[in-house]
Structure 1
Amino acid sequence: MASEADQYKAQGNDFFAKKQYDDAIAAFTKAIEASSAPNHILYSNRSGSYASKKDFENALKDAEECIKISPTWVKGYTRKAAALHGQGDLVGARDAYEEALKLDPNNAQAKSGLKSVDEAIANEAAQDGTTPDMGLGGMFNDRNIWAKLAASPKTSAYLADPGFIEKLKRIQQNPAAATQEMMSDPRIMQVMAVLLGIDITMPNGGTNAEEAKDTPMPDASKPAPSSSSPSSSSSSKAKEPPVKDELKEEDEDTKKKAKAEEEKAKGNKEYKTRNFDAAIEHYEKAWDLWQDVTYLNNLAAAEFEKGDLEGCIKTCERAIEEGRSLRTDYKVIAKSFGRIGTAYHKLGDLDRSIEYYNRSLTEHRTPDVLMKLRAVEKEKMQKDVEAYIDPEKAEKAREEGNALFKAADWPGAVKAYTEMIKRAPGDARGYSNRAAAYVKLLSFPEAVKDCDMAIAKDPNFIRAYIRKANAYFTMREYTKCIETLNDASEKDTKHENYSEIETLRSKALSARFQAQEGETEEQTMERISKDPEVVAILQDPVMQSILGQARENPAALNDHMKNPEVRKKIQLLVAAGIIRTR
């Protein structure tokens, strides 16, 4: 007969299949509450239900609880990744999928999820968060913008208004905002006219409150000068801006920029064919013709691919310096910092690489650079761990830990064994010894984790299995205790630990089916009769046949006990009181 938790779980699965996610969540919640011990599968199922209804916050919480209960179960990490992806944390989702693939490199779900996240990251990096500027970007990022506005009598007075200056700077950062600003402030239209070299007439006064207060137009309140007044005519001519000179200068700038773009295009073509020397030459010409930091970034990229990492770093530093003076978009400067980080990574200077990746993210946060930063940080951590390894010092730490353990200084022993683990992370004894110290400190979950690590390092380390089983026994997790002892028996091929394993197994079986506090004998037998494992054994046709033979001929049971699997099942029935030995 299925347990109450199993019944709720089955209901939840049925609701999920019908896409009734709220009902599924309710059923899985009841199953979790009815379970005698934390069940990672139930939290995983509820996480999937939450994710299906786009409640990624609760989906993430359940996925993390699932991982906490069973750190080696792959699906917990794919659940976490899916929830993070749903929240928009692409880097976090990628990390979770990578953790899943560490546990199971061939897991199809993790591979598919990782591919999906990588595609999303690539799309985000390609878009780079920019908004089409309708061709206004080049105009407002003209390096001579302030000089042109100051030289024109139509806009020079605007520069005395700090608020208007800030408005122009905002447009430089987001040229697409110019259209909106133009609707609320006609001065933007006048600025555009001056930058384009065209003449427009602004109305006197105006209804815009900001214009009336801050930007009186030149001579707007004065009568037009008489054409018969020589002095007025002369004065007016003297104050007129050199329109032809400005137009000529702008025409020359346009030609220079066009030539620079031609050189950039040639450089890109050479770059794609991996002719980096020629690409560098074209990018340098482009920069000489027109100071656009993008050309320097392209130049640095070519130097990087060529293998001139020091040259790449210097060019990027120059791009940052020039970019600051030219008030270049922070996203472009961020790319310069990021490329320096990549160059230092290639040079093996991980500290400098991390520094410059962080500086790039300070300018502009992108998933691409954040992923590179995470990768370098992991690499540095691994190298630091490897640099700390020292077998001789590890042995000294083990001896110190043993001495402290015998002196009943359990915290000191934990500290010493931790040092041993750092000095020799591949030695299973360090984890096993620390587990023993944790047991003395009554820190049983930590002891179990250390035993798992010891077993992962050395699957044949029987002592780690026995310590783990003892921890479960003390925690009254008798089923897990018995399962661990079964694993130990399989590994103990020489039966060197047979007596210890069987003694503990017998104790765990008895404790599992003994009467609980305040429980009558009838209640105990009812609980035992509903135990899933007992029910499964009694419903097994093979076991039914063996038990039938035993009823007719008790001696036949001894022959069946030679089979390890049958022996385990019979021992469990004996402990449960189903089979009487006398």
Structure 2
Amino acid sequence: MAEEAKAKGNAAFSAGRFEEATRFFSEAIDLAPTNHVLYSNRSAAYASLHKYNESLVDAKKTVEIKPDWSKGYSRLGAAHVGLGSFDEAIAAYKKGLELDPNNEALKSGLADSQSAASRSRAPPSSAPPFGNIFQGPELWAKLTADPSTRGYLQQPDFVKMIQDLQRNPNNMSMYLADQRMMQALGVLLNIKMRSPSPGEMEVPETEEEAEAESEKQPEPEPSKQPEPEPEPEPVVLSEEKEARERKAHAQKEKEAGNAAYKKKDFETAIQHYTEAVELDDEDISFLTNRAAVYLEMGKYEECIKDCDKAVERGRELRSDFKMVARALTRKGTTLAKMAKCSKDYEPAIEAFQKALTEHRNPDTLKKLNDAERAKKELEQQEYFDPQLADEEREEGNECFKQQKYPEAVRHYTQALRRNPKDPRVYSNRAACYTKLGAMPEGLKDAEKCIELDPTFSKGYTRKGAVQFFMKEYDKALETYQEGLKQDPNNQELRDGVRRCIEQINKTNRGDISPEELKERQAKGMQDPEIQNILSDPIMRQVLTDFQENPGSAQEHLKNPQVMNKIQKLVSAGIVQLK
């Protein structure tokens, strides 16, 4: 539920609906109050609404929960900048850089904060054109959230223009001829300029819904102190333009691949994704999408190769951890499909575990649990060997004859691992447990023996013996009688019936010591069946009649069900008939 609310918040943030985003992130925090990412996301949403006090509270909570997470200090710095606390912002960005010295977003934030601090200490000057719209952390959030300007943030020359205006807003006149700058002004001033073209829109991932990245602020190139630079030669501009065109072309190929995938036209989808990879090797979604197609086609080796390449390239580029996790999960899924024995599941389990270290995705966790369960089931099947089970059973029998009962139990247990469906082994181990005085274990094995083979008389003799030793004579009698239904001529079962009747009659005659009677009564009162009989209103009336109206009591005894319950109370020592 928390992940679902977070996803809705991310989507709202990306669409620029910041109030809605804060509501969803708040819902997620209520469900998962120790998730630092949720506070980070809500801090960014509050900053976009210019609610910097609330943003600061969430940023502080983020670093409190996860003090070794550099992005938390980026949020903290942005909130301080919004409040005009530039010295605190500088301290926050520096702390983040101690944790992640190569983080470009932190470097840029530090440079901007230092520049803003210098300006705040400088004498007042004439107001720059358009006021302070290029100041503050909300600048990047607005440009990221609007589809018409989001793509520009991938263009180094545009990012440099924005950085220059952050340092010196008076340079605006230098860039007004650039249509991109006009579009950015429209977004920052909330003026409608034009609708974004299809090429500027994000394309969803195949097979899985694309996850919005509200945690990720745009990471422009690091700010530098202005210094005179020669005019770029035409060839440089041409290369940048060509790079932009290649990226745009790659996105179109990906979109075409997505459409082909949905139509189950896998060969065409492969062609489009391959073209996208060749045009732009900095977007690992092309590789993970192609891996998904290979998985559907049953081309597992190709799928794993693409997943490995996506993970390697993603780490080189410091790509979103969720994308890396997706590649690892897809690899684990493929390895699980390829598994033919229990050991084959080990690399699949390892891949799922690595994916979960990148992103705690519920679907990945389920796949990990399924793989571990399948591995365990195969291990049991691979260990199954009736011949070795018989050998272990025979060794257990020899130990039993020599009265080496613990050793016999070990051999019988090993036999059951080799063949868990042999009722003879359960019967033999029940006999061992009885000799060792482990009555509950012996009873459990005897009942399992009867469950596997209801016609196997040994199961009834084992169970009856355990119950007899536990002084549950009425239950033992029932067990022996049930066994005689399966094997009427079994002498061991007949002897068991005789012994039980003798003990029950001794109780009826009161021919037992007071200590034994008290012990049997205490044990009987713990028996749920005895408790149910005593709580039955009809049986309470019957017992009252035995004491006050013996004639009426005799009539009750003609009822087989009542007689059976009375006999259980007698056997338990609760009632004595004289």
Q: TM-score, normalised by structure 2?
A: 0.55
Deviation string, structure 1 residues 344-381 (Cα, Å, up to 9, x no partner): 22122323322322332343333322222222222222
1:309 lines up with 2:300 in the alignment:
yes
1:274 lines up with 2:264 in the alignment:
yes
Tell me the amino acid that sits aligned with residue 325 of structure 2: A
CA distance in 2, matches of 1:180, 1:460: 82
CA distance in 2, matches of 1:580, 1:459: 35
After TM superposition, the structure 1 = structure 2 runs for residues 375-386 of structure 1, keeping only pairs within 5 Å, are: 375-386=370-381
Consecutive unaligned residues in structure 1, runs of 5 or more: 1-84, 87-119, 135-160, 205-214, 220-235
Where does residue 577 of structure 2 map in the other structure? 580
SS in 2 for 1:197: helix
Tell me the amino acid that sits aligned with residue 538 of structure 2: Q
After TM superposition, the structure 1 = structure 2 runs for residues 447-486 of structure 1, keeping only pairs within 5 Å, are: 447-471=442-466, 474=469, 478=472, 482-483=474-475, 486=478
Consecutive unaligned residues in structure 2, runs of 5 or more: 3-27, 46-93, 118-135, 141-152, 170-221
Residues 340, 508 of structure 1: alpha-carbon distance in 2 compared, 3 angstrom cutoff: farther
After TM superposition, the structure 1 = structure 2 runs for residues 161-176 of structure 1, keeping only pairs within 5 Å, are: 164=97
Tell whether the 8 Å contact from 2:467 to 2:475 is kept in structure 1 after alignment.
no
Residues 183, 482 of structure 1: alpha-carbon distance in 2 compared, 3 angstrom cutoff: farther
Tell whether the 8 Å contact from 1:574 to 1:580 is kept in structure 2 after alignment.
yes
Where does residue 500 of structure 1 map in the other structure? 496
CA distance in 1, matches of 2:576, 2:370: 59
CA distance in 2, matches of 1:334, 1:303: 18
Residues 445, 186 of structure 1: alpha-carbon distance in 2 compared, 3 angstrom cutoff: farther
Q: Answer with 506-515 or 453-462: which moved more.
A: 506-515
Tell whether the 8 Å contact from 2:507 to 2:570 is kept in structure 1 after alignment.
no
CA distance in 1, matches of 2:115, 2:420: 67
SS in 2 for 1:493: helix
Where does residue 569 of structure 1 map in the other structure? 565
Tell whether the 8 Å contact from 1:256 to 1:290 is kept in structure 2 after alignment.
yes
Tell me the amino acid that sits aligned with residue 427 of structure 1: D
Deviation string, structure 1 residues 141-197 (Cα, Å, up to 9, x no partner): xxxxxxxxxxxxxxxxxxxx996485576677xx9x999997799699799897623
- Number of positions where the alignment pairs a residue of Structure 1 with one of Structure 2: 395
Following superposition, the deviation at residue 260 of structure 1 comes to: 2.0
Where does residue 110 of structure 1 map in the other structure? none
Tell whether the 8 Å contact from 1:197 to 1:247 is kept in structure 2 after alignment.
no
Tell whether the 8 Å contact from 1:465 to 1:485 is kept in structure 2 after alignment.
no
Following superposition, the deviation at residue 249 of structure 1 comes to: 5.1
1:287 lines up with 2:281 in the alignment:
no
CA distance in 2, matches of 1:547, 1:374: 60
Residues 537, 401 of structure 1: alpha-carbon distance in 2 compared, 3 angstrom cutoff: same
After TM superposition, the structure 1 = structure 2 runs for residues 496-535 of structure 1, keeping only pairs within 5 Å, are: 496=490, 497-501=493-497, 503-504=499-500, 507=503, 517=515, 532-535=531-534
Tell whether the 8 Å contact from 2:480 to 2:496 is kept in structure 1 after alignment.
no
Q: TM-score, normalised by structure 1?
A: 0.54
Where does residue 260 of structure 1 map in the other structure? 250
Following superposition, the deviation at residue 297 of structure 1 comes to: 0.4
Following superposition, the deviation at residue 499 of structure 1 comes to: 4.2
After TM superposition, the structure 1 = structure 2 runs for residues 99-498 of structure 1, keeping only pairs within 5 Å, are: 131=41, 164=97, 196-198=159-161, 199-200=164-165, 202=167, 218=225, 239-240=229-230, 242=232, 250-291=240-281, 292-348=283-339, 349-471=344-466, 474=469, 478=472, 482-483=474-475, 486=478, 489-490=481-482, 492-494=484-486, 495=488, 496=490, 497-498=493-494
SS in 1 for 2:444: helix
Tell whether the 8 Å contact from 2:291 to 2:303 is kept in structure 1 after alignment.
yes
CA distance in 2, matches of 1:197, 1:216: 8
Tell whether the 8 Å contact from 1:538 to 1:544 is kept in structure 2 after alignment.
no
Residues 268, 506 of structure 1: alpha-carbon distance in 2 compared, 3 angstrom cutoff: farther
Following superposition, the deviation at residue 389 of structure 1 comes to: 1.8
Tell me the amino acid that sits aligned with residue 394 of structure 1: A
SS in 1 for 2:167: coil
CA distance in 2, matches of 1:178, 1:464: 78
CA distance in 1, matches of 2:462, 2:410: 19
Following superposition, the deviation at residue 448 of structure 1 comes to: 3.4
Tell whether the 8 Å contact from 2:545 to 2:553 is kept in structure 1 after alignment.
no
Tell me the amino acid that sits aligned with residue 571 of structure 1: Q
Tell whether the 8 Å contact from 1:462 to 1:488 is kept in structure 2 after alignment.
no
After TM superposition, the structure 1 = structure 2 runs for residues 542-561 of structure 1, keeping only pairs within 5 Å, are: 560=558
CA distance in 2, matches of 1:170, 1:261: 26
CA distance in 1, matches of 2:350, 2:101: 32
CA distance in 1, matches of 2:115, 2:428: 75
Identical positions, percent? 30
Residues 340, 181 of structure 1: alpha-carbon distance in 2 compared, 3 angstrom cutoff: farther
Residues 484, 357 of structure 1: alpha-carbon distance in 2 compared, 3 angstrom cutoff: farther
Tell me the amino acid that sits aligned with residue 246 of structure 2: K
Residues 178, 385 of structure 1: alpha-carbon distance in 2 compared, 3 angstrom cutoff: farther
Tell whether the 8 Å contact from 1:466 to 1:501 is kept in structure 2 after alignment.
no
Tell whether the 8 Å contact from 1:394 to 1:424 is kept in structure 2 after alignment.
yes
Tell whether the 8 Å contact from 1:260 to 1:285 is kept in structure 2 after alignment.
yes
Tell me the amino acid that sits aligned with residue 572 of structure 1: K
